[in-house]
Structure 1
Amino acid sequence: MDSSAPPREPILTLPGALTAYVALLAIIHGVCALLPLDLDDLVFGLFAFIPKRYDQTLLAMPFAGGTPAKIWTFVSYSLLHANLSHIGFNVLWLLPFGSALARRFGAVRFFLFMAVTAAAGAAAHLLTHEHALAPMIGASASVSGAMAAAIRFAFVRGSFLSFNRGDADEAARVPALPLLRSLRDPRVLAFLAIWFGTNIIFGVGSIAIGAEGASVAWQAHIGGFFAGLLLFSLFDPIPRLPREFDAPSSDLAEPH
């Protein structure tokens, strides 16, 4: 046995960037849980995403934070959660997909990606809930974006959802397929069908997960998902395969 061989890192060991992101969500939620009710309401008024905040009609009303809050709430809402089950559900889905993405992108790209997909989710929610007064919170749009980005390389041989994978860092750095090529992979199509079907069922059926009395903002999920799927290449530091090697993902050689 070659004792000089480096140890293989477990596939689900969390990278530092994801650990920091999850810790930030937990700390913010913990602090909000300890606040008096009036201060908690103020925090939500300042940092939750409220479509009514952008109302330009005569029915417009003032909100905490004024004009600057119209900018930061496109991202800050994603750091707030209603309760432990709400934050736990988001973190549960983020662990496998966000872990691979954080390893691949590095900390700066990962945090920027989560912010961009959160903003895309807020934009989709605003388009479909114009004038709505109910606040939207939660990291679901960013989590959806991370899932969409991860499937661009997740099924490639050697990656974290393949049956022939290496250690965590190696699995996160396999070359991604072009978007159109990915969308011809039956496994990716099956994943998309399940993901969209689940969101439509929970959204149209008004089934809430993790937030009593609150419906799922499935339009924001879809906005974040499409942003992650389409913008992945702008963040990806790993060179794609040359066109001559654009083979079906099941036939790709395992990276060395």
Structure 2
Amino acid sequence: MDASPDFPRQSRVPVFNLPGVITASIAVLMAIQAVREFVLSDGADIWVVLNLALVPARWTVWLDPSQADAVITAAGAGGTEAIAAARESFARYIVMEHAADLWTFATYALLHGSWLHVIFNSVWLAAFGSPVARRCGPWRFGLIALAGTVAGGALHVLLVPLSTAPLVGASAGVSALMAAAARFVFQPPASAYGNQPWHLPPPRPPETVRELLRNRTAVSFLAIWLVTNIVFGLITLPLGGESAAIAWDAHLGGFVVGFFLFPVLDPLSRRAS
């Protein structure tokens, strides 16, 4: 008789054992970047950016046409003479266009400035989106990511209303998932549950804000995340054709929404209430 313990079944190699929605999301982001990089012409790619990226000044002028001169002046400030002229020309196009599409608050997350940018976001999506997807399922996962994306874009427009730089990247949505995961992944293990390493404790409701503040691991994570975003907001990184500053405000907007939205959508929170 075989007296060996009944270990959990592993159907796939653990390192590749990602939820299907995570694998699909990363595949979509990679495919879009590949099409833009290897298939589309420069003109077609510019059309994609103009119609899918989020340009704060476009919304500012649409809401208040009197800000048109301020947008053009801001665009022509700083940089070399050639860069300033190009930015001013683009700003005049934005002012003349008078178009603002609601979908850009979501679709900007599908575009990235470079392969480094999309790979970086995909790694964090796999790391922090996976526990949220496993716990909440694909639909609630998608809702948290979408809400964080929209909130991050809205805060970015609010804080830099005259900017003509297109906002791209899934970082705001990923930040929302990071915040959601922080509500439960750092919980200390349940005491007196099982006596074997493969006996996993059942999932528990997310920690409250007060419990998180008493959790040193969670507090350290939140502090590192905040400091990192502040630092990246002050420097420029080569994420596109030229160096660009990280949109820390979009990250912050996504993080805050994910942090407070997760308990509302979390199945265990709803079951416990």
TM-score computed with the length of structure 2 as normaliser: 0.77
- Report the counterpart of residue 17 of structure 2 in structure 1: 13
Q: Percent identity between the aligned chains?
A: 38
Cα offset, 1:219, TM superposition = 0.8
Distance 1:62 1:172 in 2: 58
The 5 A counterparts of 1:93-104 are 93-104=124-135
Given the superposition, is the C-alpha separation of residues 172 and 78 from structure 1 closer, same or farther in structure 2, using an over 3 Å criterion?
Answer: farther
Q: Please give the per-residue CA displacement for 1:202-243, whole angstroms capped at 9, x wherever unaligned.
A: 112x23263341111111111111111111112211237979
Runs of 4 or more, structure 1, over 2 Å off, are 1-6, 8-12, 164-167, 170-175, 209-212, 239-243
Given the superposition, is the C-alpha separation of residues 171 and 137 from structure 1 closer, same or farther in structure 2, using an over 3 Å criterion?
Answer: farther
The 5 A counterparts of 1:143-222 are 143-158=174-189, 173-204=203-234, 206-208=235-237, 210-211=239-240, 212-222=242-252
- Report the counterpart of residue 48 of structure 1 in structure 2: 53
Question: Which amino acid in 2 is paired with 1:228?
Answer: G
Given the superposition, is the C-alpha separation of residues 72 and 177 from structure 1 closer, same or farther in structure 2, using an over 3 Å criterion?
Answer: same
Cα offset, 1:183, TM superposition = 2.5
Given the superposition, is the C-alpha separation of residues 11 and 176 from structure 1 closer, same or farther in structure 2, using an over 3 Å criterion?
Answer: farther
Distance 1:101 1:157 in 2: 17
Distance 1:31 1:180 in 2: 46
Distance 1:122 1:184 in 2: 31
| Aligned match for 2:150, one of 109, 114, 119 | 119
SS in 1 for 2:269: coil
Question: Which amino acid in 2 is paired with 1:14?
Answer: L
Contact 2:32–2:110 (CA<8 Å) still a contact in 1?
yes
Contact 2:53–2:167 (CA<8 Å) still a contact in 1?
yes
| Aligned match for 1:232, one of 234, 257, 262 | 262
Contact 1:165–1:171 (CA<8 Å) still a contact in 2?
no
Question: Which amino acid in 2 is paired with 1:13?
Answer: N
Cα offset, 1:113, TM superposition = 1.2
Question: Which amino acid in 2 is paired with 1:31?
Answer: V
Contact 1:124–1:219 (CA<8 Å) still a contact in 2?
yes
Given the superposition, is the C-alpha separation of residues 190 and 20 from structure 1 closer, same or farther in structure 2, using an over 3 Å criterion?
Answer: same
**Structure 2: 5+ residue runs without aligned partners?**
69-93
Is residue 31 from structure 1 mapped to residue 35 from structure 2 by the alignment?
yes
Question: Which amino acid in 1 is paired with 2:170?
Answer: A
Number of equivalent positions: 233
Question: Which amino acid in 1 is paired with 2:145?
Answer: M
Distance 1:227 1:239 in 2: 17
CA RMSD of superposed structures (Å) = 2.8
TM-score computed with the length of structure 1 as normaliser: 0.81
| Aligned match for 2:112, one of 81, 102, 109 | 81
